[in-house]
Amino acid sequence: MTGPSRQRMWSAVVPAALLVLTLILTGCQAGQPRPPSSGRPVTPPSIDPAVPTVHFTAQGDVGLGTGARQVLDTIASLRPQLNLGLGDYSYRAGIEQEFCDMVTDKLGTDFPYQLVTGNHESDGHDGDIANFVKCLPNRLPGLQGEYGTQWYVDYPEQDPLVRFIMVSPGITFHGGNTLNYSQNSRRWNWTARALDGAKSRNIPWTVVGMHTPCLSVGRYDCQAGQDFTNMLIRKKADLVLTGHEHLYQRSHQLGGGTGCPILVPDAFSGDCITDSDASMVEGEGTVFATVGTGGVGLYDVRDDDSEAGYFASWSGGNRDPALGTLDVTATADRLSARFVPAEGYTFTDSFDIRRKKPLQR
């Protein structure tokens, strides 16, 4: 091939090659953040941008293993506004910074990963809550109380939709001291006032977080305390979130009344259930959810437990095992929650609580 023929060939080939190269380079450029490579893309809940909404996740009992990283990837893919840590983080002293680095690497350095202590870091033996608070500090404005131990915050700060109340009943601290949440104690009254204050401010939803549950189909008895648990029901907390049991369990809506003056652990009374389906009405009772599925090994659940009748759904080492997170959205009229499993797991659960009528705000 000579002269003009060769020139005509190159005049056709070169532009085409440049076009292909341009398309390749364009495809390699950074665009929208991608889901983590080790995580499973999860479709976030459908949120109307015109409707004020709070979107948060919650889980406890995390560790630093593969499971913890999978759960953090799941949280990242959901893109919540904040996360509630329900206690038990590193499970080893001296590596608190490593745990914090794992969280910030997955969720970002300024992400509100909000803490309350579990039993593994409260007394310093398997970590120290004071060190976790330093490397994962409070990121929410207006917080009241002692962050990491007992605090509440209204979110968002202006026209809040949720009051988050985080407490530490049943937890032993340095020197073997257990914080006093007995009836009419200072911490009991603080919690009761925080719940009452949300109602007086017409904040639509109250969410209580703490490490220890009372009711359970797992290993433990009522470490949170019977009286304290009944106070939460009597004050009409909408949702109570716990860890400690390495499993997921979600109660029916529970409330007091003529047939159920108090809820008694290690027993069952159908009169304490105010709603047994997955769509409930605000003010009729309290939903308890244990989300000890943040990454460490799972405990078995017991179908024959005396408290099993209080629960609508559960998952454990011997029954639909799943690590994952609770994913919650709240508007002025509705609180919706679903359990989102980490990659490789399939168990799910969902429920919602709706207001009878809109709040006058």
pLDDT tens per residue across span 48-78: 678 899 999 999 999 999 999 999 999 999 9
- Report the pLDDT value the prediction gives residue 329, as an integer from 0 to 100: 98
pLDDT band at residue 258 under the 50/70/90 scheme: confident
- For the segment 302-326, the average pLDDT, to the nearest whole number, is 97
Asked if residue 147 has pLDDT above 70, the reply is yes
- Report the pLDDT value the prediction gives residue 360, as an integer from 0 to 100: 65
- Report the pLDDT value the prediction gives residue 45, as an integer from 0 to 100: 56
Q: Are the C-beta atoms of 301 and 288 separated by less than 8 Å? A: no
SS3 of the chain: CCHHHHHHHHHHHHHHHHHHHHHHHHHHCCCCCCCCCCCCCCCCCCCCCCCCCEEEEEECCCCCCHHHHHHHHHHHHHCCCEEEECCCCCCCCCCHHHHHHHHHHHHCCCCCEEEECCHHHHCEECECHHHHHHHCCCCCCCCEEECECEEEEEECCCCCCEEEEECCCCCECHHHCECCCCCCCHHHHHHHHHHHHHHHCCCCEEEEECCCCCCCCCCCCCCCCHHHHHHHHHCCCCEEEECCCCCEEEECEECCECCECCCCCCCCCHHHEEECCCEEECCCCEEEEEECCCCCCCCCCCCCCCCHHHEEEEEECCECCCCEEEEEEECCCEEEEEEEECCCCCCCEEEEEECCCCCCC
How far from the centroid of its chain's Cα atoms is residue 17's Cα?
51
pLDDT tens per residue across span 93-110: 999 999 999 999 999 999
Sheet of strand 205-209: strand arrangement: 144-146, 150-155, 162-166, 205-209, 239-242, 287-291, 248-251, 311-315
Q: Are the C-beta atoms of 298 and 256 separated by less than 8 Å? A: no
Mutual orientation of helices 186-200 and 226-234 as an angle, nearest 10°? Answer: 10
* Architecture of the structural domain at 50-354: 4-Layer Sandwich (3.60)
Asked if residue 232 has pLDDT above 80, the reply is yes
Amino acid identity, residue 296? V
Please give the residue that has the higher pLDDT: either 330 or 1: 330
Residues near 340 by Cβ (< 8 Å), separated by ≥ 6?
A: 42, 74, 78, 324, 325, 326, 327, 348
Residue 9: CA count within 13 A, CB half-sphere: 6
- For the segment 329-351, the average pLDDT, to the nearest whole number, is 98
pLDDT tens per residue across span 120-135: 999 999 999 999 999 9
Amino acid identity, residue 283? G
Q: Among 294, 296, 297, 293, which residue's Cα sits nearest to residue 315?
A: 293
Asked if residue 327 has pLDDT above 60, the reply is yes
Computed over every residue of the chain, the mean pLDDT equals 89
Asked if residue 288 has pLDDT above 70, the reply is yes
